[in-house]
Amino acid sequence: MSYSDQVIQFVRHSYLEPAARSGETVVRIRAGDVHKALRWTNRVPSVCQALSSKRFLDENHLELVKTQGPPSGLSTTTVYTYKLKPAKAEGRKQKGLRALRGRGTEMFRRLGGGERWLRRGRENFYSAGQEEQLGTGKRS
């Protein structure tokens, strides 16, 4: 997982989700707080770049309202102020599921296809003799 991914995941779980649950519309995040919480050393630029990235803003339905800090924007004292855009929770879940689409394609191809894999799994589901106990076994 990249540094940017780690920042995004941490901020989402520690700042954005709690703010959304409590009905807040504005969230302020200090880069130094994130850097310290992740227990990193000399990674402040990575934190700042992740917090201002288009990807971060889009994925989390945010609008960057204000950035306060030094001109470089790469400091522990840089504070980002975001406005939470209204978004349906269901839409967020679907987007997450869409990201998984096609992930098993290559695995199933190597196994001979999804139907074949399921058929083999079903054939070996019960141990010998157990099928007859359940009334599902073939009778001679």
Predicted local distance difference test score (pLDDT) of residue 90:
45
Q: Which of 4-18, 90-104, 116-130 has the highest mean pLDDT?
A: 4-18
**Is 131 among the domain residues?**
no
Alpha-carbon gap, residue 132 to 74, rounded angstroms: 69
23 and 76 share one domain: yes
pLDDT band of residue 113 (cuts 50, 70, 90) is confident
Predicted local distance difference test score (pLDDT) of residue 140:
46
Using the Cα atoms of residue 42, residue 46, residue 49 and residue 52 in order, give the sign of their dihedral. negative
Domain span at residue 92 reads: 88-126
| DSSP assignment of 43-74 | -HHHHHHHHT-HHHHHHTTEEEEEEES-TT--
100 and 47 share one domain: no
Helical (H) or strand (E) element with 29: strand 26-30
Q: How many domains does the chain have?
A: 2
pLDDT band of residue 8 (cuts 50, 70, 90) is very high
Q: Per the confidence metrics, is the pTM higher than 0.75?
A: no
32 and 82 share one domain: yes
More confident residue, 114 or 140: 114
Q: pLDDT above 90 covers what percent of the chain?
A: 49
